[in-house]
Amino acid sequence: MFRDAIGESTHTIPITAFLKALGLNKEEILNIFANHKSIKNSLDNEIYNEKDVFETDELINLRKNLNSSDSNRSYGVDTKLRELFKKYSSLKSQLEAEGKNAEKQKELNEVINNIISEKAAKDLVINLSISTKNIDSKFRLSNKETTYQSIIYNHFFSNKSFDLSKAGRFKMARKMRLSERLYQRVLAEDLKDINGKVVIKKNTLIQKHELDTIKQLTKEGKLGIVHNVNLDERISKMANVVKYEKINVYQDNDSQDEFIPIIGTDTSLDKPTLSISDILSITSYVINLDYDIGFYDDIDHLGNKRLKLIDELLKTRAQAGLVRIEKFINDKLAIADGANKSQEQSEEQEPKKSLTVKSIINTKPFQISFKEFFNSHQLTQFLDQQNPLAELTNKRRISAMGPGGISREDPNLDIRDVHYSHYGKICPIETPEGMNIGLIMSLATYASTDENGFLITPYRIVKNGVITDEIRWLTALSEDEYIIACSNLNVEKNKFKEDKVLCRYRSSWEFFDVKDVDFIDISPKQVVSIAASSIPFLENDDANRALMGANMQRQATPLISPIAPIVGTGNEYKIAHDSGMAAVYDGEKDGTVSYVDGGTIKIKSGSEEKVYELTKFNKSNQNTCNNQVPIVSVGEKVTKGTTIADGPAMSNGELALGQNVLVAFTTWSGYNYEDAIILSKRLFMEDIFTSIHIVEYSVDCLKTKNGDEEITRDIPNVSESSKKYLDDEGIIMVGAEVKEGDVLVGKISPKGQVELTSEEKLLQAIFGDKSKNHKETSLKVPHGGEGTVAMVKRFKVEDDYELNADVIEQIKVYVVQKRKIQIGDKMAGRHGNKGIISKIVPVEDMPHLEDGTTIDIMLNPLGVPSRMNIGQILELHLGLAMKKLTLSKVLELYYDKKPASDFSLWFGIHEEASRNLIKNLEKILNEKQIKSLDQANKEFTDFDLSLALSRSGISREKLIYKTATPVFEGVNRTDLKEAMTEAGIDPINGKLGEGKSGKFNLIDGRTGEYFDGEVSVGIMYMLKLDHMVDDKIHSRAVGPYSKITQQPLGGKSQNGGQRFGEMEVWALEAYGAAHNLRELLTIKSDDVKGRNNTYNAIIKGKPIPESGLPESFKLLTKQLQGLGLQVSITK
């Protein structure tokens, strides 16, 4: 089936007719396909044979008018057919005169075949509406002659019509190669090499070993399976010989009575265009499918999908732009050529101006195509700079949507589902919730792309049961050929401990003999994305909650004093380092830090000195604060790739999205109902979850038809308090504390009034009364935009800034907001355990442990069982154990005489701070006359450690004994029990508070009484998310209405109202609230007259009048009348 060149309709054409149009004759076609019945039937049923072709009206007329003068009127492309017919008539006459002549008969048969081919090609050109113009010279027989066959070749085998691309040629070669169809088939012939030596005997069942032999010999070109069809000069100069590969196998492995050829494409082809060899192999593949030879493609398999990267998308746009330029040049030259001809004909005409390159080449189409791409392409978006993880994930995101992709409204679940070929390439967890689920995905941790755009992932090679250090990157199609073991098996000295190991082969997991294993995963985390791999105890979480956890980490707001998690996964440093938000030393040689201040770091390497200017308090795309802080000190040695300055949400080079807080799973007066979170006021007072946000406000000063707008402090109808921080020019001063409604930039715009007289202008200049002919259009602080002005930028046309048309000046004001945590803000853990803060409780009222330690956050225990994210409980216990082991670890490192760098590594503090800590520990230990580690463990208390930290300038929260539990190979239940026991928390019979499984007895801070039951208490890493109440809270008294429905607009940005929908109406009906319901459906909605009367009544202090008819009711009556029903409204 062929689609015509216009793309409007399709035409079904027998494959043999198409092959004849390409130049093959009947005998060659039958020989190639071994007289297969399908091919025979096709040849018998199509009309392109000697009898039928020569009986067509066209050829009958051609024979009659062969020597007629009318023949000169035929199309140029008919010339070849006419010449062939002349030759046919001549040979026919000679044979009739001379009698039998084998040589002449052979020549006649060739001419007949050529006539049939040309006639088939002509019909194909006409049926498919193929253009007969612009034929490439390589498809012509001579410089001038064009045949229907050359038109066919130009259409199907030119890269302008069918550009397979490099990836397409790779897929074609792989799909159509013989080895893809030979597995488990019995040979119907001896396979010989090019020297005639038998390699594989007839009647051999092709198994993996035989297949490998065939692949290797084919790759080396030593297997005698290549056949040729010599086309001589029947077709264009493109190819005189068609090469294809062919092996005969039995149709049925058991009966072995009839054979069928398997035809493969020419593997030596490297052109990104179709070939006759491809057509032959495709035909063979379709025939073979009836005999279970070959297989249907799995559309969801990653082997049948590839990534279109930015270079390919831009290349497509560049090609489109160049095509436009080419068309423009051709049009210009054609016009110029026509003008020159007319000039030659008219001698009186003035001499024509000479053509210049500038006059015929217009590059604007090229520029427009690129601008369109970056401005309006479906997949173009601003980089997500919410935090380092968000930026890195955004760069590694892939989409099935976009031009030529899948629509988000497509309900097909198979497209969105996880496929076995995604293993190690696409994360099965991280994808958005909602309409885009499964369409927007993230690359797995180690996934990359090959030269053709196919996703690849690395594996270690296994040889004879021994794991080597050799790495090979495999595509999804390559993986299907191998047996691959998972990485967390029992291995000792690169050998498997068991004889049989669990492996995957395609979509199945089975136990295989170790000698059959081909590869092994390089890491358990290679199956998930970087966001999912930064969730500790991921293996203990339900996948749906893990999805939420991975997504919500990207929404975490960078805090003022971020702290890395106590319980991490080991990815934190690499994520922060690679995100692009940290400052990294990139010198080729090792260097020494020579200078450090808040905004600059200088590193000396030999005779060279590199200067790094740090980003200070810049606004990100998400309005968060992008600030870099040095983490190196003068004299420190650095190597290439060393992080020298933290970015936002980083601590000592590690990702730090939130805070380690003491969490208890308990109810408290119902305030944590439905996942609500109860917070201690300590977190509010000490700015533990405080973040900084920078908002940009912009205003343009324009040229208008009534005059230019003006930036001024003299603004009409604005109170003095609203403009008290404006300078003389009318622009807000840096450092000013602004609130809602304050003027940031004073601006007045001219009204469309008549020209003033000179006296009026004089009076206006003296008294400054601009209110009569100017309106106030100042930039003001919107609702919820209060803060401190941090910076003002001015861009003027007169200072050579490029601004939009009619813009005289642009002013940008940056307002900084310091947002403390508050009721209504959204918080979450890393396991999808999200909630809204419902109450901030004074520290003295919060529950506390028996040693007086108050709880920071209370979560609802009902949020665990149904969500099945048990990882949060394991994190809770391990976090508390590590917190309690901090003191003993500090003492252990001190008495082992470890350097300051080890303290930095273990506790996440700067080296300078570590050196100070070691000095202060020494002082306190000497003061207390502690000589050994055992004595220190008994006598050195938490208070002493706090004292040493205070003297060293380190907060207690920042000294954390961190642990890493990588996904799928981290802390298990035994390890957790050991850590808890070591920390003095007995996981079976808890000594502290006599609890069980690490639970504690809590005391209510309000009453001093114990809680009824024991409570799970521990350290959990909590994040403050971008969904803050300051951005969401909104109210409306009087505001804009829709012109169509006369109902209030929706949304905060339009100062809209809250939707009162169908279900809300049911609720009021259930309570019988008739008056409230009438208000909502009339004066608060679309009763235009009633709302105006109500407004006037409120202003004048009168009773609210009775409501009128809403517009929606009037519309309903009109619709009923439109149906022919008489509807009247009576009071």
Report the pLDDT averaged over residues 1047-1071.
91
**677-693 core/surface letters (b: 16 or more CB in 10 A; e: else):** bbbbebbbeeebbbbbb
Instruction: Establish if 850 belongs to a structural domain.
Output: no
Mean pLDDT, residues 980-986: 86
Percent residues over pLDDT 70 in the chain: 92
> What's residue 746's pLDDT?
94
Say yes or no to pLDDT of 740 above 80. Answer: yes
Give the range with max mean pLDDT: 158-172, 671-685, 1041-1055: 671-685
Same domain, 4 and 132: yes
CATH value at residue 483: 2.30.150.10
For position 994, what pLDDT does the model report? Answer: 45
Q: What is the DSSP letter of 754?
A: P
What's the pLDDT at 128?
84
Among candidate residues 226, 228, 224, the one with its CA nearest the CA of residue 191: 224
Beta bridge partners of 187: 249
354 has pLDDT over 70 = no
Q: How far apart are CA 770 and CA 759, in angstroms?
A: 14
pLDDT of residue 358: 77
Q: What percent of the chain has pLDDT over 90?
A: 54
Check residue 520 and give its pLDDT.
96
Residues 265 and 311 grouped into a single domain: no
Q: How far is CA 500 from CA 240, 513, 523, 891, in A?
A: 55, 5, 20, 46
Vertex 831: Cα angle to 830 and 834 (nearest 5) = 85
Q: Which residues does 361 contact at the CB level (< 8 Å), separation at least 6?
A: 325, 328, 329
- Three-class DSSP category at 1001: coil
Give the residue-averaged pLDDT of 87-115.
Answer: 83
888 pLDDT more than 50: yes
Q: What is the pLDDT of residue 327?
A: 86
Render pLDDT for 441-452 as a digit per residue (tens, 0 to 9).
Answer: 999 999 999 999
Q: Please, how many CA atoms are within 13 Å of residue 462, restricted to the half-sphere of its CB?
A: 26
pLDDT in tens, 672-707: 999 999 999 999 999 999 999 999 999 999 998 888
Asked if residue 980 belongs to a domain, the reply is: no
Asked if residue 211 and residue 308 are part of one domain, the reply reads no
At residue 74, the pLDDT reads 45
Residue 76 has pLDDT above 70, yes or no: no
Residue 237 gets which letter from DSSP?
Answer: T
Lowest mean pLDDT of 310-324, 733-747, 810-824, name the range. Answer: 310-324
Same domain, 775 and 642: no
- Structural domain includes residue 23: yes
User: Looking at the domain assignment, is residue 901 inside a domain?
Assistant: no
Contact 675, 860 (CB under 8 A): yes
Same domain for 77 and 202, yes or no, is no
At residue 372, the pLDDT reads 87
Looking at the fold, whether 1051 and 1109 belong to one and the same domain comes out as yes
Given this model, what pLDDT does residue 1123 score?
95
Question: Does one domain contain both 1064 and 1105?
Answer: yes
Token duo for residue 383: 């980089």
More confident residue, 842 or 761: 842
Q: Give residue 75's pLDDT band: very low, low, confident or very high (50, 70, 90).
A: very low
Residues paired with 848 in a beta bridge: 854, 1003
Ramachandran angles phi, psi of 952, nearest 5°: -90, -5
Residue 124 has pLDDT above 70, yes or no: yes
- Lowest model confidence (mean pLDDT) among 26-40, 335-349, 374-388: 335-349
What is the tens place of the pLDDT at every residue in 627-657?
Answer: 999 999 999 999 999 999 999 999 989 999 9
The reply to whether 637 and 496 lie within a common domain is no
* Contact indicator for 389, 657 with CB cutoff of 8 Å: yes
Alpha carbon distances (Å) from 649 to 383, 388, 556, 574? 17, 7, 9, 14
Structural domain boundaries enclosing 200:
182-288
Angle in degrees, 0-180, between the axes of helices 165-176 and 276-289, rounded to the nearest 10? 50
* Contacts of 593 by beta carbon, 8 Å cutoff, 6+ apart: 601, 602, 603, 604, 632, 633, 634, 635, 636, 638, 644
CB 741 within 8 A of CB 841: no
142 and 235 both lie in a single domain = no
Query: Rounded distance, CA 510 to CA 392, Å?
Result: 36
Q: Which residue has the higher pLDDT, 557 or 131?
A: 557
1053's tokens: 């940005």
How big is the CA angle at 293 (ends 484 and 281), to the nearest 5 degrees?
105
Residue 65 confidence class, pLDDT cut points 50, 70, 90 = low
Closest alpha carbon to 423 in 283, 586, 559, 302 = 302
Q: Does the structure show a pLDDT above 60 at 138?
A: no
The residue written with tokens 């032959």 in the block is: 280
869 in Cβ contact with 831 (< 8 Å): yes
pLDDT for res 475: 95
Residue 938 located in a structural domain: no
Assess whether 100 and 8 both reside in one domain.
Answer: yes
Most confident stretch, 207-221, 859-873, 983-997: 859-873
Q: Which of 288, 308, 330 is where one domain is finished?
A: 288
966/444 Cα distance (integer angstroms): 15
CA 91, CA 88: separation in Å to the nearest integer?
Answer: 5
pLDDT value of residue 1022: 97
Which of 748-757, 943-952, 1101-1110 bottoms out in mean pLDDT, i.e. has the lowest?
Answer: 748-757
Task: Name the residue among 873, 882, 941 with its Cα closest to residue 907.
Answer: 882
With a CB cutoff of 8 Å and minimum separation 6, the contacts of 498 are 489, 490, 514
pLDDT in tens, 813-849: 999 999 999 999 999 999 999 999 999 999 999 999 9
Choosing from 476, 504, 522, the residue where a domain stops is: 522
Give the closest residue to 843 by CA, choosing from 1018, 677, 1005, 666: 1005
Q: Is residue 979 part of a domain?
A: no
The pTM score is 0.87
User: What CATH code is carried by the domain that includes residue 1088?
Assistant: 3.90.1800
Confidence of residue 133 (pLDDT cuts 50, 70, 90): low
pLDDT at position 989 over 60:
no
SS3 helix, strand, coil % of the chain, rounded to 5? 35, 20, 45
Tens digits of per-residue pLDDT, 513-533? 999 999 999 999 999 999 999
Q: What is the mean pLDDT of residues 194-205?
A: 91
Return all residues near 1086 (Cβ < 8 A) that are at least 6 apart. Answer: 1041, 1045, 1046, 1047, 1110, 1111, 1112
- Please report which confidence band the pLDDT of residue 563 belongs to, taking 50, 70 and 90 as the band edges: very high
Question: Is beta strand 747-750 parallel, antiparallel or unpaired with respect to 710-711?
Answer: antiparallel
Q: Is 421 contained in some domain?
A: no
Is 139's pLDDT higher than 60? no
Among 776, 791, 819, residue at a domain's last position: 819
Distance, CA of 84 to CA of 61 (rounded, Å): 15
Q: What is the pLDDT of residue 344?
A: 57
Same domain as 305, residue 270: no
Exposed, middle or buried, 814 (CB in 10 Å: 0-12/13-18/19+)? Answer: buried
For the residues of 732-753, what is the DSSP string, one character each?
BPTT-EE-TT-EEE-EEEE-S-
Q: Are 691 and 945 in contact (CB under 8 A)?
A: no
Answer yes or no: is pLDDT of 333 > 90: no
Domain count, the chain: 7
Q: Are residues 5 and 148 both part of a single domain?
A: yes
Domain CATH for 629: 2.40.50.100
pLDDT of the residue at 992: 41
- Say whether pLDDT at 1029 is over 50: yes
End-to-end CA distance of the chain: 70
Using the predicted structure, report yes or no on whether residue 405 has a pLDDT greater than 50: yes
pLDDT at residue 768, rounded to an integer: 63
What is the pLDDT averaged over residues 23-51? 89
Mean of all residue pLDDT scores within the chain: 88
Residue scoring higher pLDDT (125 or 986): 125
- Asked whether residue 101 is assigned to any structural domain, the reply reads yes
Residue located via tokens 């990534």:
307
Q: What are the two backbone dihedrals, phi and then psi, of residue 487, each rounded to the nearest 5 degrees?
A: -80, -20
- Give me the pLDDT at residue 829, please: 97
Which residues are registered as beta bridge partners of 827?
835, 1024
